[in-house]
Amino acid sequence: MLDYFLDAKIGIRRFRPEDVAGLYEAVRESIDELCTWMVWCHPNYSINDSKNFIASCDAAWEKREHLSFVIFDVHSGVLVGSIGLNHLDSVNQSANIGYWVRKSRTREGNASAATSLIASFGLRELGLNRLELVVPVKNEASQRTAAKAGAKRLGMARKRLVINGHAHDAYLYSFILEDLVV
């Protein structure tokens, strides 16, 4: 199984130890936005948080807990963000997609391109039946990403997510193999 996937401008690949500084820089650049929507983010996010996360990635892959990828610019190699599959369910052959893109690289199609790549990975390479995205109703940028990547919006789940101690309604999106563009 490959550990990277590319389109014309964006690639996704597994995290490596040398990604610590790039991850830290991208998170700190985007701290306000990330802390709004990401349960793992906090205002005091440190270089040690990046080190610890990256150090945990290989074991998480082995245990199939979460499969995390760097989103990178294929021309410059710059770390653009991160995307992953989590909540892997071996019984139902499904998983959840989560993603973020650094502030300076938003509105360029990077998140939707990476979402398409990971959907193909999950459905074609891993043979999953279904991928889901659970997007807070107020996170309009993430809703645009899911739709642009080809995910189907299924409906709204009341108080589906708890972020920073507050319950949020969320839209549920999904991918199945038939949704993928050739």
Say how far residue 67 (Cα) sits from the centre of its chain.
Answer: 10
Helix (H, G, I), strand (E, B) or coil at 148: helix
Answering whether pTM is above 0.85, one says: yes
pLDDT at 139: 93
Query: How is residue 10 written in tokens?
Result: 């964006």
Please state, as a whole number, how many other Cβ atoms lie within 10 Å of the Cβ of residue 18: 8
Q: pLDDT tens-digit profile of 62-104?
A: 998 899 999 999 999 999 999 999 999 999 999 999 999 999 9
Give 173's strand partners: 133, 153
Give me the sign of the Cα torsion angle 165, 170, 174, 179: negative
DSSP three-state, residue 144: helix
Q: What is the pLDDT of residues 146-175, one digit of tens each?
A: 999 999 999 999 999 998 889 999 999 999
pLDDT attached to residue 182: 54
Each residue's pLDDT tens digit, 2-16: 556 777 789 999 999
- In a 13 Å sphere around the CA of 22, the CA atoms on its Cβ side amount to 18
The whole-angstrom separation of Cα 100 and Cα 58 is: 20
> For tokens 């290989």, what's the residue?
58
pLDDT digits (tens, 9 = 90+) for 109-132: 999 999 999 999 999 999 999 999
Using alpha carbons only, give the angle 121, 181, 95 rounded to the nearest 5 degrees. 35
The tens digit of pLDDT for each residue in 21-62 reads 999 999 999 999 999 999 899 999 999 999 999 999 999 999
Q: Which CATH number fits domain 4-129: 3.10.50.40, 3.30.420.40, 3.40.630.30, 3.20.20.70?
A: 3.40.630.30
- Number of Cβ within 10 Å of residue 178's Cβ equals 6
pLDDT of residue 8: 76
